[in-house]
Structure 1
Amino acid sequence: MVLKLNVKRLNRLSWLLAIIIGMIFYIIYYNNGPRGSLYPYTLLSLLSIALIGHVDVLLMVFLGKRFSVKSKEFTLYRTLITYPASMVIYLILWPICAYMARFQNSYWSINLFLAFIGSGVVMNTMVIIMHDSVLLYEHKLSADLEVEQLRRANVEAKFQLLKQQINPHFLFNALNTLKALYNKDTAMADDYIVHMASFLRTSIHHHSSNLSTLAQELAFSKDYLEMQYIRFGNALQCSIILDQHVRETYALPSFSLQPLLENAIKHNNFTKQHPLMIRITQEGGYLVISNNLQKKNLKVPSTQYGLANLAERYRLCSGDEVKIKADDKEFSVSIKLLKNENCNH
C-alpha cells in the first residue's frame, strides 16, 4: 500500500500551528515584555513556525518520490535536514525582527545562537509531531479503504462462484431431459431446445449482474417453466400473482427464482390427477414461492445448489435471511424483495 502525502492538509496544519503559537507568544509577551518588541517577536514566532512547517512538507514531497513514507530512509533524511533547516530559518529571520524591534545586543552573541538552536529544535519537533499525526491519519484512512476494497472483492468473488454453480447443474438435468425427449417426440424436443437456448442466452447476458429486476427474473424463469411444461404437461402448474409495479420496482439476486422452481419440481411427486401447483406471490416486503407438498418417497440426492446457494448469496449481497416454512400440506420459501436502484451495483 502506497501512502500519498496530503500536501494541502499538511500546509494548512502548518499555518494553524503557526497562528496558535503566535497568539500564545503574543499574549505572554504582551503581559511581560516591552511593547516595542511585541509585534516583531510575534511575527518572528509566526513566520518561523510557518516556514519550518512548509520546509518539512516540501522535504517530505521530495523524499516521498525516492523513498516510501514509512521507510527508515525517509525518516532519517527528514530528521537530518529539517533540524538544521529550522535553525537556519531562525538565523535568517532574526536580523529582520531585531531591526524592527531596535534590538541593541550583538547578533553573534553565543547565548543568542544557543537560543536559535533551542527554538529550532523545539519548534521543528512540534511541527514533525503534528505532521506525523496527519500522516498517521492518512495511513489509517488508506488502510481502511484497502480493507474495504478487499472485503468487497472477496464478497464479489464468493457471489460469482456461487452463481456459476447454477448453470452446470441446470445443463446436466436439461441435457438428460433432451435426450429422453428425442427418443419420444422430436418436435417436442425441438421446442425444448428453443426454450433452453433462450434460457442460456439470458443467463449469459446477465452473468455479470449481481441483482436483476423481478421482471427480469420472471422472464428468465419463464423459459425454464416452458421447458418443464413440455416435460411434464398438465402435471405441473404455476401461477404468478404480482402487480406490474412490483415487478418493475423490486429486484432479486440474479438467478435466484429458477433454482426455487427447480427445487419444488425435484422433490415432489406429481401427476395429471395430482398436479404440482406452484404459486409466486407477494407478502409484505417478501416474494413467496410456495407449492403443495407431495414429497417423493425416495430421498433425492441433493447437490446443495438450491436453497443453500440462494441463502448464501442473499447473505452476501444484502445480509437478509431466506425464510422457509413447511407443514404437511405446503412448502414455501420467502425471499426479501430488494430495492431496484442498486441493480447495477
Structure 2
Amino acid sequence: MVLKLNVKRLNRLSWLLAAIIGLIFYVIYFNNGPRTSLYPYTLLSFLAIALIGHVDVSVMVFLGRSFSIKSRLFTLYRVLVTYPVSILVYLLLWPLCAYLAHYQKEIWSINLFLAFVASGILMNSMVLIMHDSVLLYEHRLQADLEVEKLRASNAEAKNLLLKQQIQPHFLFNALNTLKALYHKNPLSADDYIVHMASFLRTAISKQYTNLSTLNQELEFLNSYLEMQRIRFGQALQCTIEIDEHDKEHFFLPSLSLQPLLENALKHNNFTPSSPLIVHIKKVGDWLVISNNLQKKWVNISSTNSGLANLAERYQLYSGDEILIKNDGGVFSVSIKLLKNEDSHN
C-alpha cells in the first residue's frame, strides 16, 4: 500500500498551527512586553511557524518522489533538512527583532542566540509532530479503505463463484430434458429451446451483476418456469401475487428466484392429479416463495446450487439471513427485499 501525501491538509494544518502559536505569543507578550512591538513580534512568530510548516511539506513532497513515506531514509533526510532550515528561519528573525528593539546591545547576547536556535528546534519539532499525526491519520484511512476493498473484492469473487455453480447444474438438466422432448414432441422441444436461449442469455448478462430489480428476477424466473411447464405440464402450477409498482422499486440479489423453484422441483413428487403448487407473493418488505410438500422418498444428492447457495450469496451481499419454514405441509423461503437506496447499483 502506497501512502500518499495530502498536501492541502498538511498546509492547512501549518496555517492553523501558526495561528495558534501566534495567538499564544500575542497573549503572553501582551501581558509582559512593550505594546509597540506587540503586533510586529506576533506577525513574525506567525510567519515563522507558517514558513517552517510549508518548508516541511515541500521537503516531504520532494523526498516522496524518491523514497517511500514510511521509509527510514525519508524520515532521516526530512530531519536533516527541516531542522537546519528552521534554525535558519529563526536566526534570520534575530536582526529583525534587534531592529524592532532599536538595536539594544543585549539583543545580541549569546543567550538570545541560543534562545533563537532552541526556538527553531522546538517549533520544527512541533510541526513535525503535527504533520506526522496527519500522515498517521491518512495512513489509517487508506488502510481501512484497502481492507474494505479487499473485503468487497473477496465477496464479489465468492458471489461470482456461487453464481457460476448454478449454470452447469441447470445445463445438465436442461440438455437431458431437451433430448427427451425431441424424441416425444419436437414442437415442444422447439419451444423449450426458445425459452432456454432466453434463460441463458439473461443468466450470462447477470453474471457480473450483484442486484436486479424484482421485475427482472421475475422475468428471468418466467423463462425457467415456461421451460418446466413444457416439461411437466399441469403437474406444475405457479402463481405470482405482486403489484406492478413493487416490481420496479425493490431489488434482489441476481439469480435468486430460479434456484428456489429448481429446489422445489428437485425435492418433491408431483403429477397432474397431485401438482406442485408454488406461490410467490410480497408480504410487507419480504418476498415469500412457498410450495406444498410432497417430498420424494428417495434421497436426492445436493450440489449446493439451490437453497444453500442463495443463503450464502444473500448473506454475503446484504448481511441478512433468509427465513426458511417447514411445517410439514408447506415449505417456504422468505427473502427481505432491498429498497432502491440499498441497491448499491
Q: TM-score, normalised by structure 1?
A: 0.95
Inter-partner Cα distance in structure 2 for 1:258 and 1:50: 65
Shift, 1:274, TM fit:
0.8
Match of residue 93 from structure 2: 93
Inter-partner Cα distance in structure 2 for 1:199 and 1:147: 36
Distance change >3 Å, CA 207–CA 342, structure 1 → 2: farther
Q: Residue type of the partner of 1:240?
A: I
Shift, 1:207, TM fit:
1.9
Deviations 1:257-286 (A, max 9, x none): 011111111111111111111111111111
Deviations 1:160-180 (A, max 9, x none): 111111111100111111122
Shift, 1:342, TM fit:
5.2
Q: Residue type of the partner of 1:293?
A: L
Match of residue 240 from structure 2: 240
Shift, 1:183, TM fit:
2.3
8 Å CA contact 1:278, 1:290 repeated in 2: yes
Asked if 1:310 corresponds to 2:273, the answer is: no
Distance change >3 Å, CA 344–CA 38, structure 1 → 2: closer
Deviations 1:236-256 (A, max 9, x none): 111111111121211111111
Q: TM-score, normalised by structure 2?
A: 0.95
Match of residue 169 from structure 2: 169
- Look up the SS of the partner of 2:304 in the other structure: coil
Match of residue 129 from structure 2: 129
Shift, 1:323, TM fit:
0.8
Identity across matched positions, percent: 70
8 Å CA contact 1:209, 1:344 repeated in 2: no
Deviations 1:15-67 (A, max 9, x none): 22122112222222222233333333323322221111111111111111111
Distance change >3 Å, CA 46–CA 340, structure 1 → 2: closer
Inter-partner Cα distance in structure 1 for 2:302 and 2:82: 70
Match of residue 143 from structure 2: 143
Inter-partner Cα distance in structure 2 for 1:145 and 1:237: 49
- Look up the SS of the partner of 1:335 in the other structure: strand
8 Å CA contact 2:91, 2:117 repeated in 1: no
Q: Where does the alignment leave 5 or more consecutive residues of structure 2 unmatched?
A: none
Inter-partner Cα distance in structure 2 for 1:231 and 1:240: 20
8 Å CA contact 1:40, 1:98 repeated in 2: no
| 1:33-182 alignment runs, 5 A limit | 33-105=33-105, 109-182=109-182
Q: Residue type of the partner of 2:184?
A: K
Q: Where does the alignment leave 5 or more consecutive residues of structure 1 unmatched?
A: none
Shift, 1:185, TM fit:
2.0
Q: Residue type of the partner of 1:144?
A: D
| 1:146-295 alignment runs, 5 A limit | 146-295=146-295
Q: Residue type of the partner of 2:172?
A: F
Inter-partner Cα distance in structure 1 for 2:343 and 2:49: 53
Query: What is the number of residues matched between the two proteins?
Result: 345
Match of residue 327 from structure 1: 327
Inter-partner Cα distance in structure 2 for 1:190 and 1:303: 29
- The RMSD of aligned alpha carbons is 1.6
Deviations 1:164-223 (A, max 9, x none): 111111001111111222222222222211111111111112222111111111111111
- Look up the SS of the partner of 1:179 in the other structure: helix
Shift, 1:340, TM fit:
3.6
Inter-partner Cα distance in structure 1 for 2:196 and 2:343: 25
